[in-house]
Chains A and B, each alone.
Chain A
Amino acid sequence: MDGSRFWDGSHRRIILHSDMNCFYANVECLHHPELRDKPVVVGGHEEDRHGIVLAKNQVAKGYGVQTGEVLWQARQKCPGLVVIPPDYHLYLKFSRLARSIYYDYTDRVEPFGPDEAWLDITGSVHLWGGDPLMVADEISERVKAELGVTVSVGVSWNKIFAKFGSDYKKPDAITVISPDNYQDLVWNAPVDELLYVGRATKRKLARAGIFSIGDLASTEPGRLKARLGKMGLVLHSFACGQDVTPVKVLDPVRSAVDYDIKSIGNGLTAPYDLVDEADAKLLVYLLAESVAQRLRENRVRAQTVSVAVRHAIDLGGCIHQAPLPLATNITSELASSAWRLLCEREQIARGNPIRALCVRAGNLQGVEAPVQADLFGNQERRERMERLDACVDGLRHRFGNQIVRRASELGNPRMSHLDIKRDNIVHPVGFFAR
């Protein structure tokens, strides 16, 4: 049987969405069998003020523990909660291993974060008798046996419904969203269960009397466009099952600009509120160092720098942005520009403590793009700095990011252990990226 004819003889695609259940927490429970029946969460370091729930296992879920809540709140809900610090290298290893299983079924695998992936098996399903359920079942069994964690798999003809299917029933389940049942399963669900309907969009839709995905599908597209702009039309097509975005093949050789990445940034909640310039400058430089290194890895230069600030007093924030005089990925230029921007726009003082900072490089262009040299600048010095960065990158690549550090870090033990570059996790590609 032709795989693409699985759906009532129609030539629709066959897309699977595989979602590893309670990913971080289940990987930890696999490595700590003694904790398997206990409520377990993976949580950030409380001493560094990153103490939130990053992931929870099914037992903790039963107590009402939610991802993103503060650890002390989670402990109140669930006395005896076991909190494990995150081990991102281990999770990335499991992510890679899961992906290598997916590649046994198709070359069209699009990761969506470390624990989720879409698989387009339209062209290969005939090898499994044209039965996508058999493929889904085999993937589920293999992940369980080979990695010791469970997955939920959604099967549908488009990426949006396949993702809905994997979220529909958890853990360890397979859900088919077919042309026969999607009106029952998808349209009766609350509208925020659709991908890209978050809190703000849900609020806007509720004001228009749209509460379910079915309501969204039956609303006239022009009305949605008037309320939500272009995104209204996109969401309408999502709700109707008309999404045709292909499953993109991840090619690690392609650079960031090929993936249409808009910006590269790093942010951190400081281990303590920043009230003097030396500490704030140190954090800006640590963040800029990671950002510049990632720019070079992705073979791009930035034309804009922005610094986001979260104030400790009201937890309110603002973002300051400025163009760079020349497109750059040189650490010292990016860091000094970010620091200058922060000094110009913010008053760093005891009365205005800073809780968190984020440095972001935007308006990216490939390193192959010509750069207009500054007639009055020192081009020779810039080239020297580029060579210095390349040398430092080489050392860090071989011996770890801590092998070359700024002298200013050494005087601050609470920040010197931070390895922002190493701890940075990026979702590989966004849904709307080309």
Chain B
Amino acid sequence: MVQGIVQRRKRYVQVTARFDVDGSITPLAITWDDGTVYPVDRVINVRRAASLKVGGTGLRYLCEIKGNRTFIYFEDPAWFVEEKVVEMP
């Protein structure tokens, strides 16, 4: 586990997405609950996968956001991320 991260938590988030004519869905931005918008720079791959860290299954988007790679899960019809719970000094 990355230093400082004590655990992961399932966090449902608001996602702005594009629904293409072929039915595919592409996440464009995540809006955190404090209102901060994190645009998705690039979707690297998509596959169905389970999240063993926080529990759940769905379409897993490996995305690049501000230079960092992260997973966003589409657990039809909601979206969730594996939120990092950081140890406070």
Contacts and interface: CB of A to CB of B under 8 A. Distances in A.
Asked if A and B bind, the verdict is yes
Interface of A: 30-33, 94, 97, 145-149
Contact of A147 (B47, B50, B53, B54): B50
B49 interface: yes
Contacts of A94: 57
Contacts of B50: 30, 145-149
Chain B contact residues (Cβ within 8 angstroms of A): what range? 10 to 19
B57 A33 contact: no
A30 B49 contact: no
23 contacts: A30-B50, A30-B52, A30-B55, A30-B57, A31-B55, A33-B52, A33-B53, A33-B54, A94-B57, A97-B48, A97-B57, A145-B49, A145-B50, A146-B47, A146-B48, A146-B50, A146-B57, A147-B50, A147-B57, A148-B50, A148-B51, A148-B52, A149-B50
Given A146-B48, A146-B50, A148-B50, A32 B55 contact: yes
A50 to B, nearest CB: 25
Nearest to A35: B55
Contacts of A146: 47-50, 57
A289 B67 CA distance: 58
Nearest to B76: A93
Contacts, number: 30
A148 B60 CA distance: 13
Given A30-B56, A147-B57, A148-B51, 15 more contacts: A30-B57, A31-B55, A32-B55, A33-B52, A33-B54, A33-B55, A94-B57, A97-B48, A146-B47, A146-B48, A146-B49, A146-B50, A148-B52, A148-B57, A149-B50
A33 B10 CA distance: 10
A31 B54 CA distance: 7
A279 B48 CA distance: 48
A147 B50 CA distance: 5
Nearest to B52: A148
Interface in B53-86: 53-57
Q: Identify which of B47, B51, B55, B56 gathers the most chain A CB atoms within 10 Å of its CB.
A: B55
A25 to B, nearest CB: 14
Q: Identify which of B52, B54, B57 gathers the most chain A CB atoms within 10 Å of its CB.
A: B57
A149 B55 CA distance: 11
Nearest to B56: A31
Contacts of A149: 50
Nearest to A29: B55
Contacts of A30: 50, 52, 55-57
Contacts of B57: 30, 94, 97, 146-148
A146 B47 CA distance: 8
A389 B20 CA distance: 41
Contacts of B54: 33
Contacts of A147: 50, 57
Contacts of B56: 30-31
Nearest to B60: A146
A409 B58 CA distance: 39
List of 6 A-B pairs having minimum Cβ-Cβ separation, nearest first: A148-B50, A31-B55, A146-B48, A33-B55, A30-B55, A147-B50
